[in-house]
């Protein structure tokens, strides 16, 4: 293993926390190796006053980091997998997927314990089209307003009374030691998480076989199989992280079970199916399930979203 490694990471507290965890794991596994974090500001980090769905484009939180990886400025990148587009630049691969954190969305409120307790017309904060669509299915009466910023900013806005509740990824709160802020988790039957939510991905140059071998100890095959099914589903739908698509896979033994969803933003039209198969066919499961939902009418829903 080489003696010096540079990790490309977003500069947010959560991204740095995640990358620091990887740094610590590498240095513990390979004594004598020094790991440096290189903080890189991405387009998604710069645009804070516009909902991401309106910014458009894919890879809003990874492109600049991938450019640094391709240029040799950094040796690897640590991403939240839900931010990584289904298609990667030529020469790069997400080769290492550590064990997944909790994948579910968290309901956070100061005065209410669960979604059903919110009064009629309550205000809920989220900028995710996926969450908005599924909230509209469960509670069409709610006023759903955009919510951007880092975790501290979002929680502060809740505490200041700007929202009755907000929805965040549970994994981020757990990784930052903010578990106590979570009021309840949405089970996947209620709200399917984003593709890859709760999972980290370590992106490398394909030619860097030495580094790949040295990082293999971080790889978690079950998480990798689940994420492979989810990302194949996303790839076939040609969706970024800012479309109303949800997908969640579980792995038991050799069986991968994937549930996928396409929903209209108003929650009035929903296509949701489940498909299972062998671990070796994880990518095929994702592709087949996506085609099933597209054929059922999901294509028209996505076309409308993209046109808007």
Enzyme catalytic residues: 83
Question: How many beta carbons lie within 10 A of that of residue 205, not counting itself?
Answer: 18
How many other C-beta atoms are found inside a 10 Å radius of the C-beta of residue 179?
12
Measured distance CA(300)–CA(294) in Å, rounded? 8
Can you tell me the distance from the alpha carbon of 255 to that of 241, in angstroms, rounded to the nearest whole number?
26
CB atoms under 10 Å from CB of 308, counted, come to: 8
């Amino acid at each position: 293993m080489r003696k010096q490694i540079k990790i490309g990471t977003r500069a947010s507290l959560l991204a740095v926390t995640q990358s620091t965890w990887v740094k610590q794991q590498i240095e513990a596994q390979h004594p004598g190796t020094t790991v440096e974090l290189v903080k890189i500001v991405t387009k998604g980090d710069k645009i804070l006053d516009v909902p991401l769905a309106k910014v458009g484009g894919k890879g809003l939180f990874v492109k600049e980091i991938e450019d640094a990886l391709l240029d040799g400025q950094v040796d690897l990148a640590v991403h939240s997998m839900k931010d990584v587009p289904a298609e990667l630049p030529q020469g790069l691969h997400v080769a290492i997927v550590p064990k997944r954190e909790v994948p579910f969305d968290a309901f956070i409120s100061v005065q209410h314990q669960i979604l059903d307790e919110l009064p009629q017309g309550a205000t809920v904060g989220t900028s995710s089209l996926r969450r908005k669509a599924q909230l509209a299915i469960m509670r069409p009466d709610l006023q759903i307003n955009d919510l951007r910023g880092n975790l501290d900013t979002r929680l502060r806005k809740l505490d200041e009374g700007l929202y009755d509740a907000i929805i965040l990824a549970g994994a981020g709160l757990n990784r930052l030691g903010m578990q106590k802020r979570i009021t309840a988790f949405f089970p996947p039957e209620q709200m399917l998480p984003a593709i890859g939510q709760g999972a980290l991905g370590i992106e490398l140059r394909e030619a860097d076989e030495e580094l790949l071998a040295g990082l293999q100890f971080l790889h978690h095959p079950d998480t990798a199989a689940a994420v492979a099914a989810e990302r194949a589903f996303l790839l076939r739908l040609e969706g970024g992280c800012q479309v109303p698509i949800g997908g969640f896979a579980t792995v038991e033994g050799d069986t991968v079970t994937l549930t996928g969803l396409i929903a209209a933003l108003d929650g009035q039209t929903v296509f949701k199916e489940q498909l299972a198969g062998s671990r070796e066919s994880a990518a095929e499961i994702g592709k087949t399930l996506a085609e099933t939902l597209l054929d059922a009418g999901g294509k028209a829903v996505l076309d409308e979203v993209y046109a808007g």
